Structure 1
Amino acid sequence: MIITHPLLGPCDAQEFTYLGDARLIDRPDGMTDGAEDAFYDYAYLRDNPAGQHRELWFHEAGDRSWLVVTRDTLTHEILSVELARDVARKQGRSI
């Protein structure tokens, strides 16, 4: 599988480490009421979708950047690749 890195262009997927659901960017605030339940959900509850899914990938053998890859889990077709920092900024978060 080839992942087209936003800065480096096409890279073999073997250069990357898959880290799971991209919603991990949305870490709960540990200082709010109900934080314990929110962190339990964040750490242990995951969807396992068939079809389009946003995932976190780490470019371990390259520039060590974090990517959000939107991929079809049935066909492995990659629909989009974004830098995770740009996704977090769009959501009003800082990395």
Structure 2
Amino acid sequence: MRLTCPFCGSRGLEEFTYRGDATVRRPAATTTLQTDAQAWTDYVYLRDNPAGLHDELWYHGVGCRSWLVVTRDTRTHRVETVRSARAVALAERADGAA
């Protein structure tokens, strides 16, 4: 499998490290273990196992050292998109502010 880094171009998978589910969101800053232990338990331990398109975090450690959000079909391993995690986070922040 190859990933196309938005900064370095097409590279072999050995340059990247899979770092997990990109859809998991940390509980709000006001949520403490004392106020909502279940929210923290879910955040730390629970993960979905989707069949189909899924956003994943990858790290390009051998290349530009960028964090990437890779949208991949978990059934076929076909990569749909590779985006900078920073750009994704900024877009989500802008959408939330609107």
Distance 2:44 2:76 in 1: 27
1:30 maps to which residue?
29
Between 1:15-24 and 1:75-84, the stretch displaced more is: 15-24
2:86 maps to which residue?
85
Is 2:17–2:58's contact at 8 Å kept on the other side of the alignment? Answer: yes
Answer with 1 or 2: which has the greater Rg: 2
Distance 1:41 1:62 in 2: 33
Q: CA deviation at 1:35?
A: 4.4
- Trace 1:60-71 onto structure 2 (pairs within 5 A): 60-71=61-72
1:47–1:21 distance in 2 versus 1, CA, 3 Å: same
**Amino-acid identity (%):** 52
Normalising by structure 2, we get a TM-score of: 0.84
Stretches of structure 2 that go unaligned for 5 or more consecutive residues are none
1:74 maps to which residue?
75
- Length, aligned pairs only: 92
Q: State the SS of the aligned residue for 1:92.
A: helix
Stretches of structure 1 that go unaligned for 5 or more consecutive residues are none
